[in-house]
Amino acid sequence: MSDLGKLQSELLARITAATDEAALEALRVEALGKKGSISELLKTLGSISPEERKVRGPALNGLRDAVADAIAGRKAQLGDAALDARLKSETVDVSLPPRPTAQGSVHPISQVLEEITAIFADMGFAVAEGPDVEFDDYNFTKLNIPPNHPARQMQDTFYMSGGEVGKEANVLRTHTSPVQVRTMLAQKPPIRVISPGRAYRVDSDATHSPMFHQVEALVVDRGIHLGHLKWTIEEFCKAFFEIDAIELRARPSFFPFTEPSLEWDMRCDRSVPGQIKFGQGNDWLELGGSGMVNPKVLSGCGIDPAQYSGFAFGFGLDRMAMLKYAIPDIRGFFESDIRWLKHYGFAALDIPTLYGGLSK
Ligand code: PHE
């Protein structure tokens, strides 16, 4: 056997015998490294005759490639064997429950807002929105509450400093009713909108929060009367509270922007299974105000009261969430207590198909 043949079979035997990557690497350095045996042999090619080089050159290159291939092959073999060994020794327990991930929940206000929007969408209402910082004109004057009118005292208002009255938005809206004005200024009848959103008043106890939510409804068309108002409120309450035998009570009231005005209460009878869970005994619980849109408000917004009439109501959204989900204190909604949110929050927006019943 030639010297190269001997070297090759010796190297290949050692490569096959190598049992780990470190041994293989040592062999690679020994043969192919800068000072390796094959590298040294390659260097001698320069000092031999061209005829000899023609034979020895290809033979050396062949040796080098054979050794490099053998190292790569053995390396792959060792890698596969290591993986096999690991797969045999390690078992994956697929029945192990996944680690809990921190997950948020849907706030009851968001849930209720979705539910209400779905119910009214079924009845053909669109959603209208307005800003929280409102023009005095829209929050009061165009709703027939002129400056210095005693009715302004009904609502303890947060005023923003700096805003020039009449020119800049300068009040935190005290109700969602200014969205009525915005809608009527922007749109001709027929109008059917709800506007859920935040409202603000200087007020704070177990059932009042300085920031709270309302849902306003406005319908303006030809021939709209109190019957439409009553039907809409009843149907809405049945769908929202998921009770057919709802008991509602209307009390005469006063709002400058409606005439006549009514306030609505709902019966909460804890002795009847499935009835509203909140309150004591059989209380009447207040939902909010309503009425026929005052003709002055219609004409102030460019709608002819001789042709059109309308109704509006504004219900407390937080209060409705409290009633439906038995939440005793309004302040919990806005304290961001993780325990409260876990208890009252919803896993995902869950809108019962029941509301589809209204469109049947
Ligand atoms: N905006 C009134 C309030 O906040 C409620 C209301 C809305 C009354 C619409 C009549 C019509 O008290």
Q: What pLDDT score was predicted for residue 273? A: 56
Distance between CA atoms of residues 140 and 146, nearest Å: 7
Give the per-residue pLDDT at 1.
Answer: 53
Domain identity same for 182 and 280: yes
Q: DSSP characters for 298-358? A: HHHTT--TTT-EEEEEEEEHHHHHHHHHT---GGGGGS--HHHHHHH-BSS----GGGGGG
* Span 300-314, pLDDT tens digits: 999 999 999 999 999
Ligand 1 pocket, mutate which of 255, 292, 315 (most atoms under 8 A from CB): 255
| DSSP 8-state symbol, 167 | T
CA distance 150 to 153: 6
Query: Is residue 165 included in any domain, yes or no?
Result: yes
Contact in structure between 346 and 104 (CB atoms under 8 Å)? no
The last residue of one of the domains, among 40, 62, 89, is 89
Q: Do residue 189 and residue 122 come from a single domain?
A: yes
- pLDDT score recorded for residue 355: 42
Strands 191-200 and 171-172: unpaired
Query: Is 65 in the same domain as 125?
Result: no
Q: What is the pTM of this model?
A: 0.68
Q: What percent of the chain is modeled with pLDDT above 70?
A: 89
Amino acid occupying residue 316: G
What pLDDT sits at residue 148? 82
Stretch 254-283: mean pLDDT: 75
pLDDT score at 67: 94
SS3 262: strand
| Of 28, 51, 334, 345, the residue nearest 198 (C-alpha) | 334
> Distance from the CA of 175 to the center of ligand 1, in angstroms?
7
Domain contains 263: yes
| Residue-level pLDDT at 107 | 92
Compute the radius of gyration of the chain from its Cα atoms: 41
41 shares a domain with 10: yes
E strand or H helix that includes residue 291: strand 282-293
**94 within a domain of the structure (yes/no):** no
Q: What is the C-alpha separation between 69 and 297, in angstroms, rounded?
A: 91
User: Among 189-198, 200-209, 235-244, whose mean pLDDT is lowest?
Assistant: 200-209
Of the chain, the end-to-end C-alpha distance in Å amounts to 97
Instruction: Give the confidence band of 98 by pLDDT, cuts at 50, 70, 90.
Output: confident
Q: Are strands 191-200 and 126-127 parallel, antiparallel or unpaired?
A: parallel
CA separation for the pair 44, 41 (Å, rounded): 5
In a domain, 37, yes or no: yes
259 and 148 within one domain: yes
Task: Supply the pLDDT for residue 162.
Answer: 67
Claim to verify: residue 48 and residue 145 sit in the same structural domain: no
What's residue 272's pLDDT?
58
| Boundaries of domain holding 120 | 108-355
Q: 326 alpha carbon to ligand 1 midpoint, in Å? A: 24
Regarding whether 208 and 82 lie in a shared domain, the answer is no
Residue 157, ligand 1, Cβ within 6 A = no
Q: Does 275 lie in the same domain as 242?
A: yes
d(CA 239, CA 9): 88
The two beta strands, 211-221 and 309-316, are: antiparallel
Mean pLDDT of 77-98: 87
Mean pLDDT across the stretch 36-43?
91
Residues 6+ apart with CB under 8 A from 118: 351, 355
Cα–Cα nearest to 266, from 319, 342, 222: 319
**Does position 44 have pLDDT exceeding 60, yes or no?**
yes
pLDDT attached to residue 267: 81
Protein residue with least CA distance to atom 10, ligand 1 = 290
Q: What is the mean pLDDT of residues 55-60?
A: 90
What type of residue is 142? K
Same domain assignment for residues 172 and 223: yes
Torsion of CA 229, 140, 205, 197, to 10 degrees: 60
DSSP single-letter state for residue 20: S
Q: Which residues fall within 8 angstroms of residue 7, CB to CB, at 6 or more apart?
A: 37, 38, 63
**pLDDT higher than 90, residue 258:** yes
What CATH number is attached to the domain comprising 274? 3.30.930.10
Written as one string, the DSSP assignment of 180-242 is HHHHHHH-PSSEEEEEEEEEE-S--BTTB-SEEEEEEEEEEETT--HHHHHHHHHHHHHHHHT
Mean pLDDT of the chain: 87
Residue 155: pLDDT above 80? no
β-strand partners of 267: 284
pLDDT reported for residue 354: 40
Q: Is the CB of 264 under 6 A from ligand 1?
A: no
CA of 289 to the centre of ligand 1 (A): 5
- Check if the beta carbon of residue 198 is closer than 8 Å to that of residue 174: no
Is a pLDDT exceeding 70 seen at residue 161? yes
Report pLDDT digits (tens) over 208-251: 789 999 999 999 999 999 999 999 999 999 999 888 878 899 99
217 touches 313 (CB < 8 A): yes
Ligand 1 proximity of 180 Cβ (cutoff 6 Å): no
The whole-number pLDDT of residue 278 equals 53
**Across 67-71, 82-86, 200-204, 274-278, least confident range:** 274-278
Do 65 and 167 lie in one domain? The reply is no
Least confident of 130-134, 190-194, 214-218, 343-347: 343-347
Boundary of a domain, candidates 54, 89, 124? 89
Domain count, the chain: 2
CB neighbourhood size of 305 (10 A): 16
Distance (Å) from CA 174 to ligand 1 centroid: 10
Please tell me whether residues 135 and 242 are part of one structural domain.
yes
pLDDT digits (tens, 9 = 90+) for 163-181: 666 677 788 999 999 999 9
Question: Of the residues 28, 55, 89, which one is the last residue of a structural domain?
Answer: 89
Residue 75 lies in a domain: yes
Residue 353: per-residue pLDDT: 42
Range scoring the smallest mean pLDDT among 175-179, 204-208, 355-359: 355-359
Average pLDDT score over residue span 130-143: 94
User: Would you say residue 360 lies in a domain?
Assistant: no
The residue ranking higher by pLDDT, 325 or 194, is 194
Residue 169 lies in a domain: yes
229 CA to middle of ligand 1, Å? 13
Domain membership of residue 99 (yes or no) is no
Alpha-carbon span 256 to 138, nearest angstrom: 13
Domain co-membership, 137 together with 241: yes
The whole-number pLDDT of residue 289 equals: 97
